[in-house]
Structure 1
Amino acid sequence: MPAKVENALPLPGLSPVGGKSLVARFDGGRLSSDGGVLALREIERRLGIADRLAACLDDPRAPAQVTHRLADIIRFRLFMIAAGYEDGNDATALRHDPAFKLALDRLPGATALCSQPTISRLENLPDTRALLRMGRAMVALYCASFRQVPKRIVLDIDDTFDPVHGEQQLRLFNAYHDGYGFQPLLVFDGEGRPVTAMLRPAKRPTGAEARAFLRRLVREIRSHWPRVEILLRGDSHFCTPEVLDFCRQARLDFILGVATSSTLRQHVLALEQSTAVRQAAHPGDGKLRRYKAFHDGARSWSRVERIVARVEAGPLGTDTRFVVTSLTGGSPRTLYEDLYCQRGQAENHIKAWKQHLAADRTSCCRATANQFRLMLHTGAYWLLWSMRSLMPKRSAWRVAQFDTLRLRLMKLAVRIVELKTRIALHLLSACPDQAIIRLVLDRLPRLIC
């Protein structure tokens, strides 16, 4: 079927090539630059993210007058975020895009998808109870992403600063970042799966707040997996008496950073001096690291704990870090380097969540709407994480950043032709990533959920 021909004026200003003039018109027919969103459609259908979130909402609209179901609005928003359209205003143009229509199970010539005002009304729809239900639904999605119940999971908890530039509820001035914003709590597992995200003011979480947050999270996970072993990792923000006592009571293992104190330094003074002497004797070998384990506890702790110290000596002097752990086995080096330092991957997950998926676009006035946005962006994270999990384990694609996946696998030019019995998708013949696209589509049935 030939491309649709319209009486469109040619675009001016294009210089000739090889003695031939260039004539460009907007008459190519139903074209889209986001052909890869159809692969996300298959992923979302298996994960059921939109249906899970929509089931937590009470729709106040009259059923006879509903044009766009809540699940379809959420699904459209998830695809927009994953494709790089983080602003709801982009729906004004994308609602007519044929690829997005197909992703929402509509024919290319069907009526337009939902508009930006509809999306804005959806973002302001959830109340606190609905958001709590959504939080439980996201944990259920996390648990359903495993082929079988794991014996042990690792949860990385961290917070991140989210600057705001308005009069949003819960915003707070943070002196360290010299600005107003939020400081949401995020939890990822050891393999990069998102577990939950909670909006909160831009201040360090107290021990009671962290304990309440962890109590709800652990209770929900164990409602699905009663016997799973959980290892909690975090920085010194979460090394509080309340969190340590909760971990003991809830049978959680933990390895947390500890702020340096004069009491802890007393245990490693001799090690620091000897390490500095060794490094000075062989300066060409670079930095020297040594480790030591001992038992101690702060005055506010209910008991002494195992402390691991890492002493590093270099040309600029010595640097000492401490972690506290409930693990009794393993050498100090193994606990610090192979276990605790892997917590740094959570920073990369937060980077993908904020920079590649623009999860810090919390510009709504109401806190409930901004919390819902965090969940929408977390759902988009699930889509791209699941796509990446389909890649070959030893390939560079398995560790590719989300923006790379979007650029290479989603920004695909496609011409969509609707025939009598089928819909033909004409992709670019010179697409450089045809092999990996075929592989992703072939492996889609392997997704869990």
Structure 2
Amino acid sequence: MDDPTLSLPGLSPLGRTSIVARFDGGSLSSDSGVLVLREVEKRLGVADRLAGCLDDPRNPDLIVHGLADMIRFRMLMIAAGYEDANDAAALRHDPVFKMAQGTLPSGRDLASQPTLSRVENLPDPRALLRMGRAMVDLYCASFAKVPKRIVLDFDDTFDAVHGGQQLRLFNGHHDNYGFQPIVVFDGDGRFVAAVLRPAKRPSGVEIRAHLRRLLRAIRAHWPMTDILIRADSHYCGPLVIDWCRANGVDFIFGVAPSSTLRKHIETLEASTAERFNAAPGKGKVRRFKEFHDGAGSWSRVEHIIARVEAGDQGTDTRFIVTNLSGGKPKVLYQDVYCRRGCAENHIKSWKTHLAADRTSCTKATANQFRLFLHAGAYWLMWGGESKGPCPAKPERVANAGLRVSMPKRSMWRVAQLDTLRLRLIKIAPSTRHSTLLRRAEPLAPSARVVEMKTQVRLHLPTTSPAQTILRVVLGRILRLAT
């Protein structure tokens, strides 16, 4: 048995001064920045939104941990870097996590890992559909006023699995079994939706069904808002294009090259290559051409834009199709279509920094619920932003979030999510965050928690470099209306 009164052996003395280290520091936490995320979650209300979609089968007289409390605990764990429910075995005793749940440090412990696992397996397909609509409601509520236009970036990402999970499928390109969920972000980086699915290219019928559900939920809030859909060639099919036209939705999709399309740019490719060869020192030569054509399966010809680029490695040609009018081909390609690459960075942050690919449950419904939990953690770290004033309605959550609460001209506003975690939430180096091992500076404040009769005091390191920005963030995060 570990005795906290025993000192650690083997520590070398400092000159003639010995070093004595004991595990008797009292109530400490290395995740004191979770209290900032608590204020963000209170403003967003993500846990309450998701919990409201579930039917609790438990006896109300015997409930100790509410559904919203357990979902909130799980999202805070993910945001703090503890993506495994097994970590709840230790974190359920953590005083800061208890305070983030509205419990005193001396109060009851939080939910255990088995309890959290049962919650993950609780939702059925109907509950998951309600959660999907709840995430759209959260997205729409993140705007202070109704936008005139929004841009939705669709993409899919491979999620490798290593067990017998439902819906898993072998993908030849990745040479592995896994899922390939469809993920939707808007043009500013807000999370909109995620759908768990097998690791294969989505069909036009599947994409159209997903579009129909998603846009119906958005139109329920904003019936007059213009919507632009951006995606790569996976999403360019006759069913999708016809549906967008029939429902008044703008689109700009990548198009796979074909012999029919290439006939339009053979002369342009040759002349572009000649220009580069004439002056190779000036760098790559990029030219554009627009025309109307389409595949044989399309119901009509469409507006096609070709981008031809010549460089040291030869000529490269890309095609896009759009129903946008009035813009120059160069602007539509570079300033509109190419910006969908930001969605790939958002997916990378979601997967790499918040471990959204931890879909290791056996049931597909549980893994879909995990996508929503990791999406909620993304909202806590990223938040919602608006350029206008926040209205008086308490359901509006504009300007709530960790990153968007940072000063606009500061490095924090563009920092990656793991940087925000390491600098503002975490403190001590660990094997879970190996990048800290290369840092010599103290990072986020570690807290010594002292519970008194009328208050709880958190003693934070005086030398912490994060104290100024934490004051700014807490001052900017808007409180819920009371």
TM over 0.5: yes
Q: How does 1:387-406 map to 2 (within 5 A)?
A: 387-406=402-421
Matched, 1:187 2:184: yes
The gaps in structure 1 that reach 5 residues or longer are 1-5
The answer for the alignment partner of 1:418 in structure 2 is: 451
2:265–2:306: 8 Å Cα contact kept in structure 1?
yes
Deviation at residue 19 of structure 1 after TM alignment: 2.6
Residue by residue over 1:12-40, the C-alpha shift from the partner in whole angstroms, topping out at 9 and shown as x without a partner, is: 12111233111011111110000000000
2:404–2:413: 8 Å Cα contact kept in structure 1?
yes
Residue by residue over 1:180-207, the C-alpha shift from the partner in whole angstroms, topping out at 9 and shown as x without a partner, is: 0000000000000000000000000000
2:231–2:252: 8 Å Cα contact kept in structure 1?
yes
Q: How does 1:363-378 map to 2 (within 5 A)?
A: 363-378=360-375
Aligned AA for 2:470? Answer: I
Aligned AA for 2:412? Answer: W
Distance 2:473 2:369 in 1: 30
Distance 1:208 1:14 in 2: 66
Deviation at residue 447 of structure 1 after TM alignment: 8.9
The answer for the alignment partner of 2:193 in structure 1 is: 196
The answer for the alignment partner of 1:49 in structure 2 is: 46
Distance 2:344 2:15 in 1: 51
2:42–2:479: 8 Å Cα contact kept in structure 1?
no
The answer for the alignment partner of 1:138 in structure 2 is: 135
Aligned AA for 2:446? Answer: A
The answer for the alignment partner of 2:101 in structure 1 is: 104
Matched, 1:332 2:329: yes
Matched, 1:262 2:267: no
Q: How does 1:114-263 map to 2 (within 5 A)?
A: 114-263=111-260
Aligned AA for 1:139? Answer: V
Matched, 1:14 2:29: no
Matched, 1:361 2:358: yes
Distance 1:316 1:447 in 2: 57
Aligned AA for 1:194? Answer: F
Aligned AA for 2:47? Answer: A
Deviation at residue 434 of structure 1 after TM alignment: 1.6
2:235–2:253: 8 Å Cα contact kept in structure 1?
yes
Residue by residue over 1:26-55, the C-alpha shift from the partner in whole angstroms, topping out at 9 and shown as x without a partner, is: 111110000000000000001000000000
Aligned AA for 1:408? Answer: R
Distance 1:58 1:141 in 2: 20
- The secondary structure found in structure 2 opposite 1:445 is coil
Matched, 1:433 2:481: no
Residue by residue over 1:372-422, the C-alpha shift from the partner in whole angstroms, topping out at 9 and shown as x without a partner, is: 000000000000002111112222211111000000011131111111111
Distance 2:375 2:4 in 1: 44
Distance 1:228 1:210 in 2: 21
- The secondary structure found in structure 1 opposite 2:478 is helix
Distance 1:91 1:214 in 2: 37
Aligned AA for 2:459? Answer: H
Matched, 1:382 2:375: no
Distance 1:341 1:315 in 2: 22
The answer for the alignment partner of 1:293 in structure 2 is: 290
Identity of aligned residues (%): 69
The answer for the alignment partner of 2:37 in structure 1 is: 40
The answer for the alignment partner of 2:391 in structure 1 is: none
- The secondary structure found in structure 2 opposite 1:336 is helix
Aligned AA for 1:301? Answer: W
Residue by residue over 1:300-330, the C-alpha shift from the partner in whole angstroms, topping out at 9 and shown as x without a partner, is: 1111111111100001110000000110111
Distance 1:17 1:253 in 2: 70
The gaps in structure 2 that reach 5 residues or longer are 384-401, 427-444
Distance 1:116 1:314 in 2: 56
Q: Aligned-residue CA RMSD in angstroms?
A: 1.1
- From the superposition, tell whether residues 346 and 418 of structure 1 become closer, same or farther in structure 2 (CA, over 3 Å): same
Distance 1:272 1:446 in 2: 58
Select the residue among 28, 31, 48 that pairs with 2:28.
Answer: 31
Distance 2:406 2:317 in 1: 39
Matched, 1:347 2:356: no
Aligned AA for 1:65? Answer: L
- The secondary structure found in structure 1 opposite 2:115 is helix
The answer for the alignment partner of 2:433 in structure 1 is: none
Deviation at residue 7 of structure 1 after TM alignment: 6.1
- From the superposition, tell whether residues 384 and 318 of structure 1 become closer, same or farther in structure 2 (CA, over 3 Å): same
Distance 2:78 2:9 in 1: 34
Deviation at residue 446 of structure 1 after TM alignment: 7.6
Residue by residue over 1:147-179, the C-alpha shift from the partner in whole angstroms, topping out at 9 and shown as x without a partner, is: 000000000000000000000000000001001
- From the superposition, tell whether residues 403 and 100 of structure 1 become closer, same or farther in structure 2 (CA, over 3 Å): same
Deviation at residue 295 of structure 1 after TM alignment: 0.8
Residue by residue over 1:51-88, the C-alpha shift from the partner in whole angstroms, topping out at 9 and shown as x without a partner, is: 00000000000000000000000000000000000000
- The secondary structure found in structure 2 opposite 1:117 is helix
Residue by residue over 1:427-449, the C-alpha shift from the partner in whole angstroms, topping out at 9 and shown as x without a partner, is: 1111112221111111001899x
Aligned AA for 2:231? Answer: G
Distance 2:262 2:211 in 1: 30
Residue by residue over 1:226-276, the C-alpha shift from the partner in whole angstroms, topping out at 9 and shown as x without a partner, is: 111000000000000010011001111011000001111111111111110
Aligned AA for 2:451? Answer: E
Aligned AA for 1:13? Answer: G
- The secondary structure found in structure 2 opposite 1:231 is strand
